[in-house]
Structure 1
Amino acid sequence: MSAARQPARARRLSLGALRAGLAIALAIAGWAILVRAAALPPFILPGPERVARTLWTSRALLAEHAVITLIEVLAGLVIGAILGFAMGVVLAVSRPARILLRPLLVFSQAVPVFAIAPILTLWLGYGLGSKIVMTLLIIFFPVTSAFYDALMRTPPGWRELGDVMGARPWRQMWHLRIPAALPGFASGLRLAAVYAPIGAIIGEWVGASRGLGYLMLLANGRAKTDLMFAALIVLAILTLLLYAAVDRLARWIAGPEA
């Protein structure tokens, strides 16, 4: 990134952080006003101060379960990104693969994830495996789809240059089409970073003994709504941090303009 663009990018980041902070402050204020104005009991909707106190007093418990969920999300994200990259390349180079596999990919998204989760739990047990596979299934399609679409939109001039130089299809794929499609792959990774926690939480809801999703169900069953909200806030923070990290990785892979 040039030196001239760095101050402008820093200003945009500062302005974005300011807007996000203002939005969060307004949301918390509205939350507190609603609880007080409606006189809602804590087991229905605890106030923000009560949830903040639970976040602090239960920080060790929340951290313990957050680590498990983070492991599931990261493992599913990495495996799903690798498989999505490979599948995108296969679909781009093989017409029979497009004919046979693309309908299966679409069908995999037509089946509700809640219907798949119990089956995975039955097959893989209540450990990390079923949650990782659930995360993988949710992010595999957006990564594959975004990367495949980008591979099929390689600038014609690049491909003509490869033909003139006598490059074979696989060399064109590696040296021309994949580099040109990296911004599309980066877009798929960003979507995956948002969707990945959904798969892990759904898997934990269906059957688990650890994780933020399990903790939410446990807190809900014991009417500890403040703990349930605290776990939800931790999950939201993890998702935002994951998205920020993946966004930086995507810019490193595909360039600052991706």
Structure 2
Amino acid sequence: MLAADLAIGASGTTNWERLCLGLPTLVVTVADNQRPVADELSRRGLVHWLGDADMVDQSRMQSALEDVLDAGLDVTWSEKCLEIVDGRGAARACAVLLAEPGMSLSVRHAELRDEATLLDWANDRATREYAFNQKPITPQEHRAWFRARLRQPDCCALYIVETTSGISLGQVRFDRRIDEWEISYCVAPLFRGRGVGQTMLEEAIRHLLKCHGNVLLFGQVKLANSASRRIFESLNFSTRVSAQDRIIYERFYSK
């Protein structure tokens, strides 16, 4: 399978192995429960669904192969497959099960490859619920915003926080506002409720201090967002402003 350029197979669990390898595939359904999966994968352009086995004869198979080979294998077909299944499912499941307050974490600067992940986190239902602007973010809006932030390292520090096994746990962003920095952060949906938000924010702040020295930090939190309020208060942030819809916390950090 690894050495192949094109596969023909049933639309069962082997779908995920082929997707993980970025292997373009013509699929045939051999059971009723395979049809919804084949239909969705075909709709997304991840496979070419030829139909049920009893409807796909030698002529249909030959015609489908000729169509693909005449058109040439577009590399983006493989790329789309690789984006869906990264092969790290077991590591990700273990990371979630082992997540706990005070766990060891690492911090790195966000890169172009993080664009899709950050958009998914930003458009998660719970994230939008506690955002001050609850409108979903389009891929075009996010791309323009994200790439602009990466080009401005002096006024935006955008970090990805990971487990020691390299599983992304969330993001923390610091935006410079003249002589202070505003905190925005998001715990990845998989890790919510595991008590890792405080540790994640602490590690990101420690990284910011290494890069920028003494800093005055502040964060705006909706009154209804009790989890974020607890995190800021547990980190000894004080209340700067308490308004009808939000609390603004602040704290001065020195190296």
TM-score normalized by the length of structure 2: 0.22
Larger RCO, structures 1/2 (Cα 8 Å, 6+ apart) = 1
